[in-house]
Chain A
Amino acid sequence: MKRTNFYSNILVLFFIIILAVPVYWLARGKVEPQRSYMEYKTLTVFPTLSFNSFKSAVKSVLMLRFEEAGEKFFNQFRDLSYQTDFQRAASQQFPFRGAGIRLSRDLDRLMIRTAYAFTSDTAIPADRREQVFLTKDTKVLFPIPAKWTTTAKEDINLKIEDYRILIEQNPDIHFYVFYVELIENSLANPMNQYYYNANQGREFAYFLENKPEDLTVSSFPLTSFDDQIKYFYRTDHHWNVHGMLEGYERVYPMLAENYPDMSAMIPHTSFYTFPDIEFHGRWARSVYFKVHPGDVFEVAVLDLPPYKILDQNGNEITYNKKNEYHAGNYSREAFADHYIEYNGADTGYLEYVFDNDSERNLLIIGDSLTNAIEPLIAAHYQHTYAVDIRHWKDYYFSFSDFISEHPVDDVLVLGGAGSTMHRWRWTISP
């Protein structure tokens, strides 16, 4: 074997690297736990060991008080909690962790592109782990089709039955459903052809066919993938400002049917685009992939009457960060969830109180799609209660209990398939 020192010693770098990492950890010393925005959790730091606890535990051992010794020091090893924290910290405190994850995901994408190079597919997986796809030409991230199954059908039947009882028991209240079709449920999902039981709008068709007659239903269907690009973010599952306004255009006449005195529609005076935001939403986040360019984060400038938002205890709260955004104070994190930050996070209960002439109250039951549209709809009512059942105990919401404390005239169930047609996680118990 011909070798020179230089050639054979390049792998010294391996030893240097494995040594440099613990040296880095040691040199950094004790660090405060940091939040990981992407993972929505506090990153684990290396657990510390107390010499005094150890000394004291050893003393207990010498006095044959084993249980006490365990409690003082040794149990953390026996129950593996120390080891688990240590292992987590080794991963979560790893230098250049983000770059490492990106590198690995880029390697996965290289493999995916190679595998799909020989196909004529218009969309390819965006990642090896998640069921998220990326259109080759328009660079839109979207999920695989939802399945249309017997279980889904049974769940819908239960929800329909709940609606029927609700209407029967509350003849003075108008019940509305506004269904926003997301790409996973739509005929427009480019992956439908590969999933034999893809939803393709069948779920909603079934719901429409079997719904109680007195339930007013309207929808915002995706008729083509162009609709998806126009009305939804390319990297997130939420509707963009144009989708939200289109939704408002469709919800308003539905509510106005039984509300002749409903105030005129709120006009949007203009749009505002945050110039330095490149929005990379849920799908981008889940596959750790920044589509270039990211989504434009655009909002409507609305002329709303004065209003306040109250929490369950009746206290006025600042629910969203709209004012902060317009003052330029917003997250510059690459994968910041601007939709939720700007419009407000999902929450179990909110009450909008508008300073208007309306004498009617509304209950909106919905999901995160409602967060953006709520103020526009609420502007036509005096009190609007916004409920997200996913934040109620056991995903269970008792309608009769609620209206005994919050009398309403109209009930609008607004959102995707889950909140409008399914009982699971959105049980509206009559």
Chain B
Amino acid sequence: MPLSSLHFIFVFLPVFLLLFYILPFSIWRNVLMVIASLVFFAWADPGNLPLLIFAILMNYLFGLVISHRIEKVSRQAARPFMWMAVLLNLLILLYYKYTGFLLQSISDIVKITIDYKASALPLGVSFFTFTGISYILDIYNKAEKAEKNILRFSSFLIMFPKLLQGPITRYGQVKNELISPRVTPDEMMQGARRFIGGLAKKTLIADPLGYATDRILSAGIDSLGASIAWLALIAYTLQIYLDFSGYTDMAIGLGKMIGLKLPENFDFPYISRSITEFWRRWHMTLTAWFRNYLFIPLEFARKREKVLRQQSNILIVFLLTGLWHGASWNFVIWGIYFGLILALEASGLGKWLKRLPVFLQHVYAMALIMLGWVFFRITAIQDWGPFLGALFGSNGWVNPAVTMRSTNVLLYIPLVVIGVFFSLPVVNRLEKKIDEKGGWLRLGWDVLYLALFILSVASVLSNGFSAFIYAQF
């Protein structure tokens, strides 16, 4: 059930909020959250509901066992259970997400045909398994105690605002709010603003920009002129950020409406001056996950190695980051690409970059980020060459075969400008100032939010409309 769908906004959400605000005790609110999240999941993926329930029970029970072993015996005694829980989570992910990819790769290498019918990818599997692993490791590392209340634990693991696309949340970040879910009217309003802002970013800017990119790429990558290839790349660069951050805004806004403070996931990544900074601002909860649960343990485990240790660890982390994003080679290469740049930046390039004028630092970062999106968006590796060639003018600045008019994408240029505006911290700073001043400015700003909400809903309605050509066809 996408958060931007009409049935979510006008059926699921009001019913949930109404019940949530009516229910007096935290236990009932947790019951509601669990039931709502299960319905939310089952609505689109009923077949995998048992898997989700298994993940809840498995992580809950292992958490208790690990906690118990640490308290009563030793951390060492809890270790096998920690590994079992982590491996079970990884096994779920591996089986559903990567089996097909692995078998296909083996089949390509050894040139045999493997008959395999892929299982449907469970919704949010990458997120709930990583959340489960973080919970287990936090208990094992004594950062958290196991949650004894299964309702609270289930709420944490599968709460619907973050179930599909995160942010990946550590138990400690929401524990207190789950124990005593409270919400003030002011938080409700802030939540509504955040939700509407995210909805507008997704439906009014990101989705149409995605349409523009699709149109250009489907016109034939081989025949793109440089101008239109750049438009496609810029549109995609904006789309992926505004779509993902828009979704996160919606999730955080929903959280706020019910008194949960979900972690931030984006901090205007496109203002970064290096790739290292970019990964501190982009998908922050995933980066933090890999840093806390993979990079730091790797650094620790290999502390005696002196040569290229950090660089190789970065490479391992980013190889897996790429793979986490999708089970195909383009994501693997995308991950390695960023891993290599980050390794170079850690080896001295980063220091050298800081000596450059700020403008050039931005140009450096944006150029590499956008190049990275080529590997991310274009899944067919054989198309990378022609597209990169097109960017650098292999078909000229404009190829008459595919123009902005013939693909009908010229009209998206104002939206690109708006997208750039929303990718920079301008609106946020403006809103903070308005918040400080309050009064009529705040009122006007909120009226703007309402207008954005209505326009977003109108846009979703419009997408569901298709006029007939002739009555008979």
Contact = CB atoms under 8 A, between A and B. Distances in A.
29 contacts: A7-B439, A7-B440, A9-B189, A11-B193, A11-B446, A11-B450, A15-B14, A21-B10, A38-B467, A40-B471, A77-B42, A78-B47, A83-B44, A100-B458, A100-B462, A101-B461, A103-B454, A103-B455, A104-B462, A111-B415, A115-B411, A124-B411, A125-B408, A125-B411, A144-B406, A144-B408, A197-B401, A345-B470, A390-B473
A6 B439 CA distance: 9
The 10 closest A-B pairs by CB, nearest first: A2-B438, A104-B462, A40-B468, A194-B405, A100-B458, A104-B458, A90-B7, A100-B461, A91-B464, A21-B10
A15 B192 contact: yes
Contacts of B50: none
Contact of B458 (A4, A6, A103, A368): A103
Contacts of B462: 100-101, 104-105, 288
A19 interface: yes
A88 B196 CA distance: 22
B199 to A, nearest CB: 11
A300 interface: no
Contacts of B411: 108, 111-112, 115-116, 124-125, 128
A228 to B, nearest CB: 19
Contact of A194 (B7, B403, B455): B403
Given A8-B186, A345-B472, 5 more contacts: A7-B438, A8-B185, A100-B458, A105-B462, A115-B414
A14 B405 CA distance: 39
B311 interface: no
B18 interface: yes
Interface in B435-473: 435-440, 442-443, 446-447, 449-450, 453-455, 457-462, 464-473
A84 B438 CA distance: 44
A266 interface: no
Contacts of A15: 14, 17, 188, 192
A8 B442 contact: yes
Interface in A78-129: 78, 80, 83, 86-88, 90-92, 94, 97, 100-101, 103-105, 107-108, 111-112, 114-116, 119, 121, 124-125, 128-129
Given A22-B10, A39-B466, A337 B471 contact: yes
Contact of B455 (A92, A104, A114): A104
A192 to B, nearest CB: 11
B46 interface: yes
Interface string A1-30: 111101111111111011101100000000
A40 B401 CA distance: 36
Nearest to B186: A8
Interface residues of A, number: 73
B25 interface: no
B5 interface: yes
A196 B400 contact: yes
A124 B405 CA distance: 9
A10 B447 contact: yes
A18 B10 contact: yes
B424 interface: no
B410 interface: yes
Nearest to B465: A101
B346 interface: no
Interface string B393-419: 000000011010110101111110000
Given A8-B189, A91-B461, A282 B46 contact: no
A3 B434 CA distance: 11
A285 B461 contact: no
Contacts of B18: 19
A2 B10 contact: no
Contacts, number: 178
B28 interface: no
Contact of B6 (A90, A121, A335): A90
Contacts of A100: 457-458, 461-462
A351 interface: no
A282 B470 contact: yes
B208 interface: yes
A112 B410 CA distance: 8
Contacts of A129: 211
B161 to A, nearest CB: 15
B5 to A, nearest CB: 7
Of B196, B403, B411, B446, which is in contact with the most chain A CB atoms at under 10 Å from its CB?
B411
Interface residues of chain A: helix, strand, loop or mixed (majority) = helix
A390 B11 CA distance: 42
Interface in A271-300: 282, 285-286, 288
A184 interface: no
A92 B466 CA distance: 11
B461 A94 contact: yes
Interface in A384-419: 390-391
B443 A7 contact: yes
A135 to B, nearest CB: 15
Contact of B13 (A12, A18, A337): A18
Nearest to A133: B408
Nearest to B418: A111
A254 interface: no
Given A11-B189, A104-B458, A191-B405, A22 B469 contact: no
A4 B443 CA distance: 10
B406 A195 contact: yes
Contacts of B53: none
A22 B406 contact: no
A390 B447 CA distance: 52
Interface string A33-70: 00000111100000000000000000000000000000
Interface in B363-412: 400-401, 403, 405-406, 408, 410-412
A346 interface: yes
A282 B449 CA distance: 35
A13 B15 contact: no
A337 B467 CA distance: 12
A38 B473 CA distance: 13
A158 interface: no
Nearest to A95: B10
Contacts of A12: 189
A131 interface: yes
B135 to A, nearest CB: 30
A143 to B, nearest CB: 11
B421 interface: no
A115 B410 contact: yes
Interface string A225-268: 00000000000000000000000000000000000000000000
A166 interface: no
Contacts of A22: 10-11, 14-15
A14 B455 contact: no
A2 B454 CA distance: 27
A167 interface: no
Interface in B17-52: 17-18, 42-44, 46-47
A78 B44 CA distance: 9
Nearest to A99: B458
A373 interface: no
Contacts of B400: 196
Interface in A326-380: 335, 337, 340, 345-347, 368
